[in-house]
Amino acid sequence: MQLTVLGSAASYAGADQACSGYLIEHDGTTIMIDCGNGSLANAASITDVTSLDGVIVSHGHTDHFVDLFALEAALRFAPEGPMGSLPVYLPEGLWERMCALLPAAGAAHLAEAFEPHVLVAGDALSFDELTVTPHAVDHDGPSFAFVIEAPDARLAYTGDTRDGDAIRAAVAGCDVLLAECTLPEDYAGRGPHMTAAEVGALAKGSGAELLVLTHLWPTADHDRMLREAGNVFGGETVLAEELLTIDMTLPGGANERADR
């Protein structure tokens, strides 16, 4: 199983960045987790976005879903003609909000492009050998972390969340932890997000071999947050960067990283 970071920025993208988006590939299956602004262009640089097997959105903040509108256009204007019914899995109410932003014709086009499904905590989604299990977390409205499993690896993605029992239970037993690391210590407690120290402790308790920090503000001191998280975790810690690929298929759960 491979994870490719399509967007690592929180709330807004800095230069050469995109907002939340992650490509998961395994044995011919390709899914996208979150679809924030700019992430689709990065996905298109490495795969045919009209051939995705599904898109899963963690919660209803625009930096995690707004490129679904761009994906609809890609499906509608595909060279071979309109392509439709791509499965998209969203928190309750988000599909209706998306349709409400569009005129009637636009909403109809959205419905032609996608087959919407409501995420339910604990109800696993199957994509051949890939299984994605949503876990409810404490953020803003219906929000989910995801555990993505293949026969060779177990990846946990926190989505956006506060620290607490819900996210700790969700990520337990993962091989790789992809964790939001939004708040500098000066902002601790000022939003439903985690600091670097909290993320480090989360990783330490999860049993992960590798911690990947993502969803960082462009203006934050990323190197400092990397040090703070790594010092608490005590294990290998890296910053998510656009088009960074993490290969989780090696024997013994080892990981390789390469820029695509």
Residue 250 confidence (pLDDT) = 54
Asked if 42 and 17 count as a contact pair (C-beta separation under 8 A), the reply is no
Residue 259 inside a domain? The answer is: no
Q: Is residue 260 in some structural domain?
A: no
Tens digits of residue pLDDT in 222-232: 999 999 999 99
For a pLDDT cut of 70, what percent of the chain falls above it?
96
Average pLDDT rounded to a whole number, residues 208-222: 97
Asked, for residue 177, whether it belongs to a domain, the answer is: yes
Task: Examine the pLDDT at 211 and tell me if it is beyond 90.
Answer: yes
Q: How far is CA 19 from CA 37, 39, 158, 233, in A?
A: 5, 6, 15, 25
Within a domain: 254: no
Q: Considering only CA atoms, which of 259, 218, 227, 61 is closest in space to residue 144? A: 61
| pLDDT tens digits for range 35-69 | 999 999 999 999 999 999 999 999 999 999 999 99
The CATH number assigned to the domain holding 172 equals 3.60.15.10
- How many domains, the chain? 1
Note down the domain range covering 208: 2-247
258 is a domain residue: no
Structure token pair of residue 124:
């696993």
Do the Cβ atoms of 157 and 148 come closer than 8 Å? yes
Cα atoms found within 13 Å of the Cα of residue 83, Cβ hemisphere only: 17
In a domain, 127, yes or no: yes
How far is it, in rounded angstroms, from Cα 13 to Cα 240? 13
Question: If we measure between CA atoms, which residue out of 85, 109, 84 comes closest to residue 98?
Answer: 109
- For residue 255, is it within any domain? no
